[in-house]
């Protein structure tokens, strides 16, 4: 029994220590492998991306969250997935990023990542699974994770920071998915072709960011208040 008690904190600490390096490894691998002209860049970066997602999810699991913390995280992930499906007729107008940010702010950065990642995975049972799924899980998870980090530092109490991250999150999400698209489908791979692909998607990425800001403006107070009430009531 004592050995088990000692193992759990050390495991949680180990996974917690690799969260940020794992998340940072994805853009570093994208740029480094593309610049080096490695032929298998698309496959290698997909592996790095998938590993980063697994490590952060494992970090969340190793923290041994209680059922009362898992429930709001699962509910928010389901709502984000349903919202993405509901707004399917409107390209890049999705509530996923906003809900992931709220989850990160109210429940912690790991919960923010889990909400964003699971929302992508679950909603893709409607939109279709593929090699893009780990990238979407990583990108939306990162949006929620950064939202949690900003909230821990009290930055999201300032509305310009909240809405600024909402707007920037659309660009960050788009940049990550553009990296996947460029490495997987743009041939020959040149910096000019990569910039052209990013420029072509910029209007959609801006729309995504503006929509996220709008969703945050609409639900931040009400949803945040309700989640904080649950957190305080059950001492999450």
Which CATH number fits the domain that encloses residue 210? Answer: 1.10.1760.20
Outline where the chain has alpha helix (H).
Answer: 2-36, 41-62, 67-86, 96-107, 109-127, 132-152, 159-185, 191-234
Residue 52 in domain: no
> What pLDDT is recorded for position 227?
80
Could you tell me the residue range of the domain that residue 127 belongs to? 67-234
**Side-chain-side CA neighbours of residue 44 (13 Å):** 15
Measured distance CA(208)–CA(133) in Å, rounded:
18
Which residue carries 């929302």 as its tokens? Answer: 119
Measured distance CA(136)–CA(143) in Å, rounded:
11
Residue 134 in domain: yes
pLDDT one digit per residue (tens) for the chain, 236 residues: 344 444 445 566 676 688 899 999 999 998 888 777 777 788 899 999 999 999 999 988 887 777 667 888 999 999 999 999 999 999 889 999 999 999 999 899 999 999 999 999 999 999 999 999 999 999 999 999 999 999 999 999 999 999 999 999 999 999 999 988 888 777 777 778 778 888 888 999 999 999 999 999 999 988 888 887 777 776 66
> What pLDDT is recorded for position 31?
86
Q: String of b and e for 143-174 (b: at least 16 CB within 10 Å)?
A: bbbbbbbbbeeebbeeeeebbbbbbebbbbbb
Residue 191 in domain: yes
> What pLDDT is recorded for position 16?
67
Residue 42 in domain: no
* 3-state class (DSSP) for residue 81: helix
Residue 39 in domain: no
> What pLDDT is recorded for position 70?
83
Domain count, the chain: 1
Residue 12 in domain: no
Residue 9 in domain: no
CB 174 within 8 A of CB 213: no
> What pLDDT is recorded for position 195?
85
Structure tokens belonging to residue 201:
């998607």
Residue 24 in domain: no
Give Cβ neighbours of residue 213 (< 8 Å, ≥ 6 apart): 163, 166, 167
Measured distance CA(4)–CA(112) in Å, rounded:
28
């Amino acid at each position: 029994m004592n050995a088990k008690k000692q193992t759990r904190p050390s495991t949680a600490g180990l996974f917690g220590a690799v969260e940020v390096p794992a998340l940072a490894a994805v853009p570093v691998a994208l740029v480094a492998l593309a610049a080096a002209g490695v032929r298998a860049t698309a496959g290698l970066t997909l592996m790095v991306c998938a590993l980063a997602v697994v490590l952060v999810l494992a970090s969340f699991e190793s923290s041994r969250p209680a059922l009362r913390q898992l429930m709001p995280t699962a509910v928010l992930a389901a709502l984000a997935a349903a919202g993405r499906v509901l707004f399917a007729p409107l390209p890049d107008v999705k509530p996923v990023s906003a809900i992931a940010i709220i989850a990160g702010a109210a429940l912690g950065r790991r919960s923010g990542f889990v909400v964003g990642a699971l929302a992508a995975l679950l909603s893709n049972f409607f939109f279709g699974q593929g090699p893009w799924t780990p990238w979407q899980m990583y990108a939306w998870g990162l949006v929620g994770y950064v939202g949690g980090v900003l909230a821990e530092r009290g930055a999201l109490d300032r509305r310009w920071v909240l809405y600024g991250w909402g707007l920037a999150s659309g660009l960050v999400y788009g940049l990550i998915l553009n990296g996947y698209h460029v490495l997987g489908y743009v041939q020959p791979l040149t910096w000019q072709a990569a910039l052209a692909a990013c420029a072509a998607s910029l209007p959609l990425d801006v729309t995504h960011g503006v929509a996220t800001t709008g969703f945050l403006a609409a639900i931040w107070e009400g949803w945040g208040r309700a989640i904080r009430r649950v957190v305080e009531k059950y001492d999450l």
